[in-house]
Structure 1
Amino acid sequence: MPAETSLPPDAASGATLANWRVPPFSRWAFQHVDELIATARIAKAPDDVWRLPDAPRSFDDFSVRAQGGETLDFAGFLDATATDALVIIQDGAIVCETYANGMTAQTPHIIMSASKSITGLIAGILADRSTLDLEAEVTTVLPEIAGTAYAGATLRQMLDMRTGIVLDIEATRDYAAAAGWDALAPDQPASDLKSFYQNLAIKPQPHGGSFRYASANTDLLGWAIERASGHRFAELVSELLWRPLGAEQPASITLDRGGLARTTGGFSMTARDFARLGQLLQGGGARDGRPVVPPAWVDDLWRNGDRAAWKTGEWQKLFPYRRMSYRGGWYVVDDEPAMMFAMGIHGQNLFVDPTHRLVIAKLSSQGTPVDTAAWAVTHRALPEIRRCLGG
């Protein structure tokens, strides 16, 4: 049975748009996003759950070094990285499942920028069906933004974070206001993402260069996907991914004031279903041999990321000793053992390790958006988890 702990009472009261990403309120808010922000429901198939058997394994001899030098056991690692939920799958079975801060196996949790990885899977499915041309310039799909810095950027460049988009202070403030995740300042008019993009007035820069992370790329890609497909994003995720995946619970995605999905960071789901996504990629895009994500798309993620773009990009210093790329919304590690992962602020992670037939889904409520100490110890824990599982 999964372990559970209760939520501190002060975290479940007083959460608002002004504080929902700050402890202690975040511990409650990350599990109750739909009570703070408008969301769209992502329906599951009612009678087609992908069953994952339980095969518990011991982590009693787990040991990892924390950033300060102290040694952490498994419980200490979970606490040090503010873990709300952890589900580990090996060989298609759940070998570890644990919850904290009031979360259960049925509780949804926001996955923040790991959402970009799911948006990438939807883009891949649509590209395989010739509904979406990833080599097309975004302005051919959305002519409304032809006069902005996005002119000349392709959907592929947006998907791989290789546009020249750099938001200045004013544009960053406007983007945050448009997304609907923050309380508006007294002098800020209500806005939405479509208006933000149409009125974006930053200096144009060349597209197609080094990796440059811009969350605005993926929200714009979501709008382009809706336009090209003729369907709302939540509907697409349900029909193309969530139902065929065999998700156990519905998911959701936040919406801006105009009803556009926040495809860069707005997904919420259970830890088990997050892990099922990893298991899908572990199987080459298939569930029990039935393709859900095109195998060619999964192969493209592994093989076709631009290593030079990553090496000269702004995040190479965070993984200085890794040969990596960023492709289709996924971080890909070429070093042995090869690994693919999705990552979001405040400690959201999904790791896929085909060599060890391993998937690790970790949902957290870390106090700062980027906690480098927690980030480092999480990645140091991966080989220790493999060791405990005999890898």
Structure 2
Amino acid sequence: MRRLLSILLKGLAAFLLLLVCVGTFLYLSDPIFYKRLATAMQGMDVSAVEWRQPNERVPGGDAELEVADEHKLDAEAVSEAITYAEHTDSMALLVYHRGALVVERYWEDHASDSRFDSGSMHKSVLGLLIGAAIDDGYIESLNDPVGKYIEEWSEDERGDIALRELLTMSSGLKVEAMRPTPFNKGMRLMLGADINELALSLPREQEPGQAFEYMNFNSQILGIALVRAVERPYAEYLAERIWQPLGAPDAAVWLDREGGDPRTFCCLLTSARAWVKVGKLFLNEGRVAGEQVLPAEWIRQMASPSEVNPNYGLHVWLGAPEDGQREYNSASDFAVRHSAPYKADDVLFFDGAGGQRLYVIPSAELAIVRIGHPETDWDDAILPNTLLRGL
């Protein structure tokens, strides 16, 4: 019995030593990832912008946002929208209608200058920047192969993927959904310290342009191509071409490490009012104060259904799916509910995880921003349809 106990103790000690060795090796391979992973629950709060370090400033402006003392939205509809925002643990709800901000509500001591991480809403801003790069001549065409801009893929089959296929989430790259494990590539893209190298390691599994597979890797690779095409830092180009012309307050992009690369698939740290200004850019077909900041044709292209998904354009979501469930990709077990068709045919929206949203409805001259705690049962029909009924 004593000998058996000794063997068991030695086995346990060896197992624990192995765990320590493996854990040490993994930690040393990317200590930034494991430090972030250890405090990731804190990062779940979209208002915890200080947790998202390091970050790089995106200088903006101070253009005033028009605020209306009176509006033509039905008071009952506005009350219903505010109630839904309250019941879904929102931090901000802003409604812009016919040239002015008509609703601006904040909760939990947040205010107009509070900054939030609105998740994948950043993807749609990246889409705007691709249009700017084409307008500026840095990118020739959406049909350009990405290998033209990413040297590592210039002689690789992945280099044949067109920029359009990255924008429409039909790249054919291996689908990597984010899972809460340290070995998951999706999680490493979110928290790791060398995300560009990770993104460029993703293999191709099928022919590009065949299937819609929404995933963060497509946007990160698109961001790499953009930065290399314009030959300047992402934050600098974003400020010059979008943020400063909008007169939006300063923002920040989250870097993977000090002096490293920005996450272009998520995590643009800015205020709810800034998103209203982005919504105005769509409502005004690329114009700001009479100046054509982006070509109107690019705004229309972004809002046009792609061949692989009628509910997705160029990095923006469009309309409501017929079956009432919007799925992201074939590896995801999560879908967003659309309890009813939209009451307008031209609803487009920026989608951030857990109900971070910018809805834009040009026919109604309406933009709606909701920022809040991640909501697993978010219903994309309620806010737009409630306010459309109140017109």
TM score, norm. by length of structure 2 = 0.77
2:388 paired residue number: 386
Q: Cα offset for 1:73?
A: 4.0
Write the mapping of 1:88-103 to structure 2, written as runs, cut at 5 A: 88-103=95-110
Distance between the aligned counterparts of 1:217 and 1:77, measured in 2? Answer: 33
Write the mapping of 1:329-340 to structure 2, written as runs, cut at 5 A: 329-333=315-319, 336-340=344-348
- 1:55 and 2:69 are equivalent in the alignment: yes
Q: Cα offset for 1:26?
A: 5.4
Q: Cα offset for 1:106?
A: 0.1
1:241 paired residue number: 242
1:165 paired residue number: 173
SS in 2 for 1:150: helix
2:273 paired residue number: 272
Q: Percent identity?
A: 23
- 1:342 and 2:350 are equivalent in the alignment: yes
SS in 2 for 1:355: helix
Distance between the aligned counterparts of 2:199 and 2:349, measured in 1? Answer: 29
SS in 2 for 1:325: coil
- 1:145 and 2:175 are equivalent in the alignment: no
Superposed CA RMSD: 2.7
Q: Quick check: 2:194–2:256 contact (8 Å CA) kept in 1?
A: yes
Q: Which amino acid aligns with 1:108?
A: R
Distance between the aligned counterparts of 2:52 and 2:116, measured in 1? Answer: 13
Change in 2 beyond 3 A, CA 1:344/1:233: same
Distance between the aligned counterparts of 1:26 and 1:99, measured in 2? Answer: 20
TM score, norm. by length of structure 1 = 0.77
Distance between the aligned counterparts of 1:31 and 1:81, measured in 2? Answer: 16
SS in 2 for 1:61: helix
Q: Which amino acid aligns with 1:325?
A: N
- 1:43 and 2:29 are equivalent in the alignment: no
Q: Quick check: 1:178–1:256 contact (8 Å CA) kept in 2?
A: no
Distance between the aligned counterparts of 1:203 and 1:354, measured in 2? Answer: 37
Change in 2 beyond 3 A, CA 1:235/1:203: closer
Q: Quick check: 1:149–1:204 contact (8 Å CA) kept in 2?
A: no
Write the mapping of 1:112-191 to structure 2, written as runs, cut at 5 A: 112-133=119-140, 134-146=142-154, 150-167=158-175, 173=183, 175-176=185-186, 178-179=188-189, 181-182=190-191, 191=193
1:31 paired residue number: 47
2:112 paired residue number: 105
SS in 1 for 2:369: strand
Distance between the aligned counterparts of 1:219 and 1:77, measured in 2? Answer: 33
2:252 paired residue number: 252
Distance between the aligned counterparts of 1:302 and 1:339, measured in 2? Answer: 9
Q: Cα offset for 1:74?
A: 4.2
Distance between the aligned counterparts of 2:359 and 2:82, measured in 1? Answer: 20
Q: Cα offset for 1:88?
A: 0.4
Aligned length: 330
Distance between the aligned counterparts of 1:32 and 1:143, measured in 2? Answer: 36
Q: Quick check: 2:347–2:361 contact (8 Å CA) kept in 1?
A: yes
Structure 2: 5+ residue stretches without partners: 1-34, 321-341
Distance between the aligned counterparts of 1:164 and 1:116, measured in 2? Answer: 18
Structure 1: 5+ residue stretches without partners: 1-15, 64-71, 183-189, 311-323
